[in-house]
Amino acid sequence: LAKTTQPISMDSYEGQEVNITCSHNNIATNDYITWYQQFPSQGPRFIIQGYKTKVTNEVASLFIPADRKSSTLSLPRVSLSDTAVYYCLVGPRGVDDKIIFGKGTRLHILP
């Protein structure tokens, strides 16, 4: 399983765009990149998943360069409710393939 490295914490302000970058230098060919959000005392919530280039959904965008050794989660116009821990996970999507969590990034949104 590819190891991931993220900033431990980040601060931003309401209304700003927040970009969280994750490094995964040993990503394998069949690995996908998935981001989760976790609030205290709740299970992680799926945000977005991608393999290459750019993926966008109603809550975020995921940018993946051609070499796939890193990825950036972009949250547009954050609000206080976006304060949470964000995890970048890299791995295959087979039925039995397990997900190993790194330390995640604690994002704190300030008013």
Partner 1 sequence: GAVVSQHPSWVICKSGTSVKIECRSLDFQATTMFWYRQFPKQSLMLMATSNEGSKATYEQGVEKDKFLINHASLTLSTLTVTSAHPEDSSFYICSARDYGAGNTIYFGEGSWLTVV
**Scanning residues 56 to 95, which ones bind partner 1 (CB under 8 A)?**
87, 93-95
Torsion of CA 18, 24, 29, 30, to 10 degrees: -70
**Can you tell me which of 28, 59, 80, 99 binds partner 1, judged by CB under 8 A?**
99
Q: Beta-carbon neighbour count of residue 56 at 10 Å?
A: 13
Element (H, E) at 89: strand 84-91
From 19-27, 62-70, 71-79, 101-109, give the range in contact with partner 1 by CB under 8 A: 101-109
What is the SS3 assignment for 80?
helix
Q: Least distance to partner 1 from the beta carbon of 16, Å? A: 25
Q: Least distance to partner 1 from the beta carbon of 35, Å? A: 11
Residue 34 touching partner 1 (CB under 8 A)? yes
**Can you tell me which of 28, 59, 100, 110 binds partner 1, judged by CB under 8 A?**
100
> At residue 5, what is the residue type?
T
Q: Least distance to partner 1 from the beta carbon of 101, Å? A: 4
C-alpha to C-alpha distance for 72 and 106, rounded to whole angstroms: 15
- Give the torsion sign (CA, 28, 31, 35, 41): negative
Closest listed residue to residue 74, CA positions, set 66, 64, 84:
64
Q: Least distance to partner 1 from the beta carbon of 15, Å? A: 27
Q: Which residues bind partner 1 (CB under 8 A)?
A: 34, 36, 41-46, 49, 87, 93-96, 98-104
